[in-house]
Amino acid sequence: MTAAVIDGKAFAANLRGEVGKLAAAFEQQAGRKAGLAVVLVGEDPASQVYVRSKGKSTLEAGMASFEHKLPADTAEADLLAVVERLNADPAVDGILVQLPLPGHIDEQKVIATINPDKDVDGFHVTNAGRLAVGQPGFVPCTPLGCLMLLKDRLGDLSGLDAVVIGRSNIVGKPMAQLLIAESCTVTVAHSRTRNLPDVVKRADIVVAAVGRPEMVKGEWIKPGATVIDVGINRVAGAEGKTRLVGDVDYAGAAAVAGAITPVPGGVGPMTIAVLLRNALVAAYRNAGIPLADGTI
Ligand code: NAD
């Protein structure tokens, strides 16, 4: 079998288009644009690229973008004060503090200071709790993007065996919660899991979020399974260049799976698209304008 390629880039482009239409409708109804604030501390090159790209995408979706760039030696109290100001600002619907933060700042304390109703990254414990008990909140962008791709591909996920490899707070754990809510039978594998190949072999859905290049082999995949590769790993390529690979051996898995996300072009583009979606949902909720469940 040769797997169907799940085109995350196309799905994300479509989602961004839908967000743009709803952002225009929001502006009409609310008399202001939906607003997303991004806070960057320091000069980490990768974080700078992400923040620039988030700002550009926010504007392209017809939303207001507020960027706060603070020096690397910013005191924790000063960062918390910026977050508090954004919490109180009615033009700001969503707040994202770009991680990682410099070592002298307690990330959990910063996340805990964000108003949960503006926490469009879904990292606040209140939103983690809401997800766990099935209340409306904000779900971390990457796993929500993975779920959208899975539902688009498979429709009803009820009763399917799902294995999530990785148990981070950002990807693995919320992914598992989302799949439980879809009535999958969920196994969470991690660095201490025994016989990982056997665990993966029984899965109809495999979500790999490990951070180890091409660790998941084709022989581990159940024929016809759907494979979502969250990993983004830079490895040495030809002629001294580097290239991106996922956590799954793509060629091996694509020969067995029913469908698979490529890297790049699979899960990666979904993250920013879902961030915009979350910011727009925040705007509707904060403005008290109804938005029917499942609209976006
Ligand atoms: P993390 O380092 O926080 O967590 C990795 C998890 O993998 C841990 O729970 C660990 O137990 C597990 N693990 C480590 N070695 C293992 C092994 N040998 N067998 C089984 N499990 C093992 O990473 P993360 O933040 O969850 O990110 C995971 C990957 O996803 C990374 O490659 C990251 O770059 C990528 N990522 C991509 C996006 C995106 O937008 N596409 C977003 C977030 C993360």
Q: Read off the pLDDT band of 32 (50, 70, 90).
A: very high
Inter-residue contact 254 to 2 (CB < 8 Å): yes
Residues 160, 74, single domain; the answer is: no
Ligand 1 is surrounded, with C-beta below 6 A, by: 142, 165-168, 170-172, 189-191, 193, 196, 209-212, 230-233, 267-268, 271
Residues 107, 191, single domain; the answer is: no
Residues 108, 185, single domain; the answer is: no
Query: What value does the mean pLDDT of the chain take?
Result: 97
Task: Compute the average pLDDT of residues 153-175.
Answer: 98
Whether the pLDDT of residue 292 is over 90: the answer is no
pLDDT tens by residue, 57-95:
999 999 999 999 999 999 999 999 999 999 999 999 999
Q: To the nearest 10°, the Cα dihedral for 140, 14, 157, 194?
A: -50
Residue 133 lies in a domain: no
* Mutational test site, ligand 1, from 9, 49, 148, 171, max ligand atoms within 8 Å of CB: 171
| Calpha distance 229→249 (Å, rounded) | 10
Q: Which of 93, 119, 121, 247 is catalytic?
A: 121
- The phi and psi torsions of 95 (rounded to 5 degrees) equal -125, 130
Whether the pLDDT of residue 295 is over 90: the answer is no
Is 54 catalytic? The answer is yes
pLDDT of residue 53: 95
Residue 128 lies in a domain: no
Residues 92, 170, single domain; the answer is: no
| Calpha distance 242→49 (Å, rounded) | 18
- Give the side-chain half-sphere CA count within 13 A for 135: 10
Percent of the chain predicted with pLDDT > 70: 100
Q: Which residue has the tokens 């495999």?
A: 206
Is 166 strand, coil or helix?
coil
Residues 61, 165, single domain; the answer is: no
End-to-end CA distance of the chain: 33
Q: For residue 149, give the CATH number of its domain.
A: 3.40.50.720
Inter-residue contact 234 to 242 (CB < 8 Å): yes
Residues 256, 219, single domain; the answer is: yes
Q: Read off the pLDDT band of 293 (50, 70, 90).
A: confident
pLDDT of residue 229: 98
> Which alpha helices (H) appear in 62-185, and where do they start and end?
76-88, 107-113, 125-133, 141-154, 172-181
Residue 136 lies in a domain: no
- For residue 176, give Cα distances in angstroms to 131, 139, 146, 196: 10, 12, 11, 17
Residues 154, 231, single domain; the answer is: yes
Residue 50's contacts (CB-CB under 8 Å, 6 or more residues apart) are 98
| Calpha distance 245→263 (Å, rounded) | 6
Q: Which of 33, 54, 173, 222 is catalytic?
A: 54
| Calpha distance 251→229 (Å, rounded) | 13
Residue 59 lies in a domain: yes
Residue 282 lies in a domain: no
Is 38 strand, coil or helix?
strand
pLDDT of residue 294: 84
Name which of 34, 33, 92, 103 is nearest 68 in CA terms. 92
Residue 278 lies in a domain: no
* Mutational test site, ligand 1, from 165, 210, 228, max ligand atoms within 8 Å of CB: 210
Residues 234, 156, single domain; the answer is: yes
Nearest-atom index, ligand 1, CA of 247 = 32
Name which of 211, 220, 206 is nearest 261 in CA terms. 206
Q: In the chain, at which residue ranges do the beta strands (DSSP E only) sit?
A: 4-5, 35-41, 64-70, 94-97, 161-165, 185-189, 205-208, 226-229, 233-236, 242-245, 259-260
Is 121 catalytic? The answer is yes
pLDDT tens by residue, 256-291:
999 999 999 999 999 999 999 999 999 999 999 999
Q: In terms of residue numbers, what domain contains 70?
A: 30-116
pLDDT of residue 277: 98
pLDDT of residue 126: 98
User: Structural domain tally of the chain?
Assistant: 2
Whether the pLDDT of residue 1 is over 80: the answer is no
Task: Compute the average pLDDT of residues 136-156.
Answer: 98
Residue 122 lies in a domain: no
Entry pTM: 0.97
Which pair of tokens denotes residue 277?
Answer: 């979606």
pLDDT of residue 155: 98
Q: How far is the CA of 211 from the centre of ligand 1 (A)?
A: 4
Q: Which of 33, 93, 98, 118 is catalytic?
A: 98
Residues 148, 251, single domain; the answer is: yes
Residues 162, 60, single domain; the answer is: no
Residue 183 lies in a domain: yes
Percent of the chain predicted with pLDDT > 90: 98
Which H helix or E strand runs over 246? none
Q: For residue 105, give the CATH number of its domain.
A: 3.40.50.10860
Residues 253, 145, single domain; the answer is: yes
Which pair of tokens denotes residue 243?
Answer: 């290239």
